[in-house]
Amino acid sequence: MTQRFITVCLVQIVTLSISTPALAHERWVLTPDQMRILNAQPKPEIYTSFTLMGSLVLGFFGSILMFLIYIHYFRYPDKWLLMLSGRMQRLVEWIQPLLRLTLGWTLIASAIGLVPRLGNSAMSYPTFLAPDLELATLGPEWHWLIWAELVLGFWFMFGLWTRIASFVLLFAIHLALLLFGEPFMAYYPTFLGITIYLLIRGGGRGTMETRALPLLQPIMEWLDSIPMRYSQYMLRVLAGVNFIYLGLWFKILQPNLSVGILDIYQVPILSEAPEFFTLFMACVEIVAGIAIMAGILIRPASLFLFFAFFFFATFLPEGYDSHLAFYGVLMAFLLGGPGRLEATGLYERKVGKRVRNKRIQAAIK
C-alpha cells in the first residue's frame, strides 16, 4: 500500500504542475521565434479529431500497458520476467560512481557552456544544470553560480564526501526551481532522484565519506543501514515521472513543437509522417515512464530510451552528452533493477522466495 500511495501522489503532483507555457527542452533545437510560430499553428488533426491512425496508436500502446501490468502484478511471473526485472548483484557497486561522474560532468559542462542550445556558441553562455536554463537571463548578480557549479561538479567527480555534496545539490536544484520555474520541471524529478540516491548511498567504492568528519559518523552509519532497494525505488519512480511529464507536456499538449523538429531537421523515417510519429513518440515516452515508475521490465525500457536518446542526438543538434545525467540514471536501472519499499504481490513474493532459497543452499554448502 505504501508503494502505491507514493506513486499516486507523485503522479498527481506532476499533473498539477502542468499549467504554464513550455520553455524547456525543445529550446535546445528550436529558436524562440520558431517556437512561437509553431505554437501559434493549429494542432495536427490526429490530436483534435477521431482518426483511424490515432485510434490504432492509442489502442496499441494501451494494450501493451495493460498486458505489462497484468503479467507483472496479476499472475504468477515467468522466469524471463524475473530475469529482465531483477538486479545484477555483482555490478550494483558501479551505480554510485556512474551517477557521480555523469552528474559531475553535467554540472561542469553547464558552468562553462559546453552544451549550448541552438543559436549559442560553445563556452559563451553558461547555464544552470541544463542547456536552456541560461544564467544570463537572471542578471549579473547570479553569475556566482558559475563557480558554484564548477566546484560542485568537481566535488562529485572526485567523490569527496559525496553525501555532503548531495545535500548542497539538493539546495541547488530547488534554487533552480525557484529561479527558472516551470522550465526546470523538465529536469527536476530526475535530478531529485539522483540527489536522494547519492545522499542515501554515498559515493561508492574508493570515495571518502566519513574519515575527515567524525562528528557526522552517526548520521553516515544510519544512512548506510538503509537498504539499497529504497534509494533505487525512489530513483526509478522520480525518473518515471520525469519521462511521463516530458511526453505529456511537450508531445501531447504542444505537439507542434515536435512536429516542427521532425520537419525542420528531416529526421529519417519520422519526418515522412511527423504528426503520426509525434503521437507515437508521446505514447512510447509515457508508457516507458509508467513501466519504469512501476518497475515493469525496467531493463528493456531503459535500453529503449538509450536508443531513443542516441538516435535523436545523431540527427538533431544536441550532442551526445546533452542528456548525460539521464544516461547515468538509465545505467542505474540496467545494473540495479527496479528496487522496492516492501514485498507486495505475487511477483515480489516469488523474488523473495528465490532469494531465500539461494541463501539456504549457500548455508548448506
> What are 208-264's pLDDT values in tens digits?
665 556 777 787 778 878 888 889 899 999 999 999 998 888 889 889 989 999 998
Asked if 110 contacts 129 with a C-beta cutoff of 8 angstroms, the reply is yes
Which pLDDT belongs to residue 20?
34
Please provide the DSSP assignment of 159-193 as one string.
TBSHHHHHHHHHHHHHHHHHHH-GGGGGTHHHHHH
The span from the CA of 90 to the CA of 13, in Å, is 36
Which pLDDT belongs to residue 237?
92
Domain spans in the chain, listed from the N-terminal domain onward:
2-364
> What are 94-104's pLDDT values in tens digits?
899 999 999 99
The span from the CA of 231 to the CA of 339, in Å, is 8
∠ Cα 76 79 80 (to 5°): 115
User: Of 193, 163, 225, whose CA–CA distance to 325 is shortest?
Assistant: 193
Which pLDDT belongs to residue 85?
60
Asked if 232 contacts 99 with a C-beta cutoff of 8 angstroms, the reply is no
The span from the CA of 226 to the CA of 286, in Å, is 30
Identify the segments of the chain with pLDDT beneath 50: 1-24, 343-356
Which pLDDT belongs to residue 4?
44
